[in-house]
Amino acid sequence: MFESRNPSAIRSQREITEALLSLMKKFPYDEISVKQILLESGVAKKTFYRNFDSKDDVLFSKIRAELCEYFSVVDGGSADVLTTIFAFAKKNKDLLLILDRNDMLHVVLKCMNENIRSHKQGKVSETNPFVQLFDGLDSEYLIALNIGAVWNVISFWVHGGMKESPKYVRDTIYQYLTRLDPSVCYNPSICKNDQH
């Protein structure tokens, strides 16, 4: 997406994005064309390409914009990471359900992974429930592991229609984490055989 502070451009970007999401409720993503987006939004082809490169750019820009808010809260360090990600999921329920319907929830994970290195350069917020496990280890890999694990739980929850409350799912993860015992989770014999 081409960044602009021009109110007309911002309005066009919003209309194009809303048109794509509306079409995704009715048609498979792969079958939606830029022409359909133009008809649905009422914007001219020239306006579309002044703001976006493709329909993928429209979708990725929407997801990145929503994630930007999530990462700013996480980077602020004042909110619990799991609570924040579940608040993100609840706020974006319609978007996530549309993505799930189109088998595209992985796009959110891809956008999250793009942000791992750009946010706080691998520093871990003290409100991250996994922070004690990171001590002395390369946090970027562990952040990727945790994002993948938590996102898989959220994807499972979304695929089930998000029937349980975010608090219930989050609390289930917390209860699991409190049960972790290093002697159960770590097997030294695995490392002995690995010479790399």
Whether residue 8 lies inside any domain: the answer is yes
Q: What is the pLDDT along the chain (196 residues), one digit of tens a residue?
A: 667 778 888 999 999 999 999 999 999 999 999 999 999 999 999 999 999 999 999 999 999 999 888 887 777 766 777 888 899 999 999 999 999 999 999 999 998 888 765 554 445 556 555 555 666 777 777 778 888 898 999 999 999 999 999 999 999 988 887 777 655 555 444 444 444 4
Whether residue 44 lies inside any domain: the answer is yes
CA distances from 107 to 57, 140, 141, 196 (A): 12, 20, 19, 32
Range of the domain at 5: 1-53
Cα 55 to Cα 27: distance, rounded to the nearest angstrom: 14
Cα 20 to Cα 40: distance, rounded to the nearest angstrom: 8
pLDDT of residue 181: 63
Cα 89 to Cα 126: distance, rounded to the nearest angstrom: 22
45 and 81 fall within a common domain:
no
The pTM for the full model equals 0.79
* CATH number of 1's domain: 1.10.10
pLDDT of residue 42: 96
Q: Cα dihedral angle (122, 128, 131, 137), rounded to 10 degrees?
A: -30
137 and 183 fall within a common domain:
yes
Whether residue 112 lies inside any domain: the answer is yes
Q: How many distinct structural domains can be found in the chain?
A: 2
Nearest to 64 by CA among 48, 88, 41: 88
CB 59 within 8 A of CB 22: no
41 and 83 fall within a common domain:
no
